């Protein structure tokens, strides 16, 4: 298994206010720390027109993190491709990939917020054809420069299409393990039914809510931080179920239940409990685990502390484990 961390959203929220320059300065500090701890990847996230300054331009932010590191891969999880001009994104991604020596993981998603499509002047009904056009441009321009393409999806049909293209997929941290298993299987089947493009099965990455601690007070704080982070997603209007027929992650019709279910996915406890939980994730078909520890209210010191402990106590044990 391979390990990274995320999601850096670069927000300044009502419950955790900070100057926006602080968010971007800490991004660079965190990138240096992740590389020093031995992680493979750092993942950023994008949204538009949200009150807290949620990062609207992940490629420049990713370029900055890549510039202060030499081995760390930096990924976008996800860049909302239908809202962008395909050739512009592809050219910028190619530049970033080239300058970083091929360390850019370019995750792309469809987007789901009406306000973002309206604000960009893009009809929501055009998001699928625009996504296809964007993927074609990335394939022709960014991939030859060294960028690796990932897809974000929470439906079996969506991940199967990614598999059929020979591209990796990144799954949400809110997915229950049963859905992770279903989606990983659909991705694998899509790749196989398409004739195994590329010859090597593309990887499945999954965000997982994780916190290593033996302390009861820290446990309560970490679960509160997780809960607060999903309250923010409810505020964004996140819902897969309503429009894409997936029974999980409906933060619109039942936000309280969805938040509770998402927090319940957290693997929390001492190192042996984390290892046991990650073995279950591997058995579900996940190749890359992204520790979802950049969460609402967690101070940078706590973030670095838990990342160091995970690197020291968990990663060496899991380094030889392979997805089922």
pLDDT digits (tens, 9 = 90+) for 33-76: 999 999 999 999 999 999 999 999 999 999 999 999 999 999 99
* Amino acid 245: pLDDT: 44
* Share of the chain residues as helix, strand and coil, in percent rounded to the nearest 5: 50, 15, 35
> Quick count: other Cβ atoms within 10 Å of Cβ 265?
21
The pLDDT of residue 179 is above 90? yes
CA distances from 257 to 73, 87, 112, 243, 247 (A): 35, 41, 20, 18, 12
Q: Which residues pair with 44 in a beta bridge?
A: 8, 76
Reference 73, options 298, 282, 290; nearest CA is: 290
Give the pLDDT score at 322.
Answer: 83
Q: Looking at domain 2-209+268-318, which of 3.20.20.30, 3.40.50.970, 1.10.3470.10, 3.40.50.300 is its CATH number?
A: 3.20.20.30
Whole-angstrom distance, CA of residue 158 vs CA of residue 176: 17
CA angle centred on 140, ends 134 and 144, rounded to 5°: 125
Say what the pLDDT of residue 52 is: 95
State which H helix or E strand residue 296 sits in: none
What burial class does residue 272 get, using C-beta atoms within 10 Å of its C-beta: 0-12 exposed, 13-18 middle, 19+ buried?
A: exposed
Rounded CA separation 192/210 (Å): 31
In terms of Cα–Cα distance, which of 278, 78, 258 is closest to 177? 278
113-166 per-position pLDDT tens digit: 999 999 999 999 999 999 999 999 999 999 999 999 999 998 999 999 999 999
> In the predicted model, what is the mean pLDDT of residues 89-118?
96
Q: How many CB atoms lie within 10 A of CB 122?
A: 17
Report yes or no: 98 and 143 within 8 Å, Cβ to Cβ: no
């Amino acid at each position: 298994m391979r390990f990274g961390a995320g999601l850096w959203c670069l927000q300044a929220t009502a419950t955790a206010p900070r100057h926006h320059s602080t968010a971007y300065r800490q991004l660079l500090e965190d990138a240096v720390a992740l590389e020093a701890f031995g992680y493979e990847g750092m993942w950023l996230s994008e949204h538009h027109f949200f009150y807290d300054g949620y990062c609207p331009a992940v490629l420049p932010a990713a370029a900055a993190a890549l510039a202060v590191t030499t081995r760390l891969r930096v990924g976008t999880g996800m860049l909302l491709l239908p809202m962008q001009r395909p050739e512009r994104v592809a050219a910028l991604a190619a530049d970033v990939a080239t300058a970083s020596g091929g360390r850019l993981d370019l995750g792309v998603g469809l987007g789901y917020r009406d306000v973002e499509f309206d604000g960009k002047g893009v009809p929501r009904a055009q998001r699928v054809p625009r996504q296809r056009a964007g993927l074609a441009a990335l394939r022709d321009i960014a991939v030859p420069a060294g960028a690796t393409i990932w897809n974000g999806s929470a439906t079996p049909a969506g991940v199967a299409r990614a598999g059929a293209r020979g591209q990796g997929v990144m799954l949400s941290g809110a997915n229950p393990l049963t859905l992770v298993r279903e989606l990983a299987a659909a991705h694998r089947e899509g790749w196989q039914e398409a004739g195994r493009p590329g010859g090597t099965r593309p990887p499945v990455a999954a965000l997982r809510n994780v916190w290593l601690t033996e302390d009861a007070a820290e446990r309560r704080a970490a679960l509160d931080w997780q809960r607060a982070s999903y309250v923010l997603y409810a505020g964004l209007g996140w819902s897969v179920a309503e429009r894409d027929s997936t029974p999980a992650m409906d933060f619109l019709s039942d936000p309280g239940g969805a938040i509770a279910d998402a927090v319940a996915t957290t693997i929390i406890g001492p190192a042996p409990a984390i290892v046991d939980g990650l073995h279950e994730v591997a058995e579900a078909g996940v190749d890359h685990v992204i520790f979802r520890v950049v969460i609402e209210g967690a101070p940078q010191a706590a973030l670095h502390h838990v990342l160091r402990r995970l690197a020291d106590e968990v990663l060496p044990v899991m380094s030889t484990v392979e997805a089922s």
